[in-house]
Amino acid sequence: MWFDETGLPWVRPSPNLPTLASSLVYASLVAFEGSNLSVGRGTSDAFQRFGAPWLDAIRVASLLNDRNLRINSLAFDERFGSARAREAIVNGADPRAVIDGQHGAVASFPRDARRFLIYR
């Protein structure tokens, strides 16, 4: 039986594992964290994709698919932050203003993170 078949609510084991899918594939990509590849940490798809601006995604996907690993190639977006921050930058907002708009979230992080702490 898989966790999603239990009917129990999903509780993040870590802020960096936002979904059951991320938790299931975590072990397959965590080794890349020590490299200059991004594993999507901090996104809703953490550990479900990897990439870098310099990586030829189509070639990598082809090589992995040839080895019976199902991989879809996607363009790697090197911008940071939430979808709202990314959209603002794509739409021409001054990056400094976008960063300044994140101060509230940064200030509330210690309080918000407490619920994820195992040891207090």
pLDDT tens series, the chain, 120 aa: 888 899 999 898 988 888 888 898 888 888 888 888 888 888 778 888 888 878 888 888 888 888 887 776 666 555 556 667 777 777 888 878 877 887 787 788 888 888 877 776
Any alpha helices (H) in 2-79, and if so which ranges?
20-29, 57-66
Residue 68 C-beta-side C-alpha neighbours within 13 Å:
0
For residue 115, what pLDDT is reported?
Answer: 80
To the question of pTM greater than 0.75 for the whole model, the response is no
Cβ neighbours of residue 22 under 8 Å, at least 6 residues apart? 16, 45, 46, 47, 48
Give phi and psi for 31, each to the nearest 5: -65, -25
For residue 6, what pLDDT is reported?
Answer: 94
For residue 29, what pLDDT is reported?
Answer: 85
For residue 8, what pLDDT is reported?
Answer: 93
